[in-house]
Amino acid sequence: MSSVLSASPVIEILRCADCGQLDPGPRELCASCYSPRMEPVTVDGDGVLVSWTLVRRPPTRFQADGPYAVAVVDLDCGVRLTGRLASVPFEEADAPPLGARMRVCGGTAGMALFAPADAGR
Ligand SMILES: [Zn+2]
């Protein structure tokens, strides 16, 4: 679960082998049917920005990372994923608007980085 994502916009989440429920993970039991058979699956890393917030004073565990922006993105596969924005919006105007198309651009399976889907085009 610590593989670094390549440039291709995919991300690893979990899928229940019994009922097919997708989950952002980490999770040991399916939230739908309580099956312990949660398997890693790769899904499209595109989605829509739901919310974000700037963390100026991170908790001790992430102190070296700060400041950073935590973002909530609804992936097109139907899973709501919490990650970070790739570029830190110190001003409101620097942030992508809510509802903007976002794309995974790096990070790890447990901490995805998101950027606007049209960035770099
Ligand atoms: Zn299930």
Distance 92 CA to ligand 1 centre (A): 39
Report whether the peptide linkage leading into residue 26 is cis, meaning its omega lies within 30 degrees of zero.
yes
- The pLDDT assigned to 1 comes to 43
Distance 74 CA to ligand 1 centre (A): 20
Per-residue pLDDT tens over the stretch 52-105: 999 999 999 999 989 999 999 999 999 999 999 999 988 888 889 999 999 999
* Domain range annotation of the chain: 44-116
Give burial (CB, 10 Å; 0-12/13-18/19+) of 48. Answer: middle
- The pLDDT assigned to 5 comes to 46
Distance 20 CA to ligand 1 centre (A): 6
Specify the amino acid at residue 45: G
Band of the pLDDT at 106, cuts 50, 70, 90?
A: confident
Q: Does domain 44-116 have CATH number 3.40.50.10610?
A: no
Among 30-39, 71-80, 103-112, which is the least confidently predicted range?
103-112
Distance 33 CA to ligand 1 centre (A): 4
Distance 67 CA to ligand 1 centre (A): 37
Q: Which of 31, 46, 55 has the alpha carbon at shortest distance from 15?
A: 31
* pLDDT: which is higher, 9 or 67: 67
Residue the block writes with tokens 């901490």: 111
Residue 22 has pLDDT above 80, yes or no: yes
